[in-house]
Amino acid sequence: MNEYQRRAASVHALAHPVRLQILEMLARHPTCVCDLVSMTRRRQAYVSQQLSVLRAAGLVNAKKDGLYVCYQLAWPEVGKLLETIRFISTQHPEKTAVQHEGCDLRCRLSPGRN
């Protein structure tokens, strides 16, 4: 797998509402599956499936503690990324769109241009 494929896998793992919810919970503190089930109001099998995707993407780690498995973010930067995603998602497109000086958007409307 090349670097762009690894990046795409990480972004794909983030592109799911319940996985984002789980990551935000883990950003606050390490949590066991039973607490994640309670907080997400989802079945244990479903939460475990989402955690498996997050683990495969390298976003979370699991630590076994007796009979329990505790999950935590693999990197502090994941929490920072979640904050950035939250910020971007609350902005209105008209506030974040950038138009370069002198651009009248004709380039977007020209045939054959994307």
CA 99 to chain centre: 28
Percent of the chain with pLDDT over 70: 80
Domains of the chain: 1-75 (1.10.10.10)
User: pLDDT class for 92, splitting at 50, 70, 90?
Assistant: low
User: pLDDT class for 90, splitting at 50, 70, 90?
Assistant: confident
pLDDT(89) > 70: yes
In angstroms, the CA 23 to CA 79 distance is 8
The stretch 82-103 carries a mean pLDDT of 73
- Cβ-defined contacts of 103-109 (< 8 Å, 24+): none
Contact yes or no for 82/20 (Cβ under 8 A): yes
User: What CA–CA distances, in Å, run from 62 to 26, 91, 97?
Assistant: 11, 34, 39
The stretch 61-82 carries a mean pLDDT of 92
pLDDT digits (tens, 9 = 90+) for 29-41: 999 999 999 999 9
In angstroms, the CA 49 to CA 81 distance is 22
- What pLDDT, on a 0 to 100 scale, did the predictor assign at position 24? 95
User: pLDDT class for 100, splitting at 50, 70, 90?
Assistant: low
Strands (E), the chain: 31-32, 60-65, 68-73
In angstroms, the CA 70 to CA 61 distance is 8
Beta-bridge mates of residue 64: 69
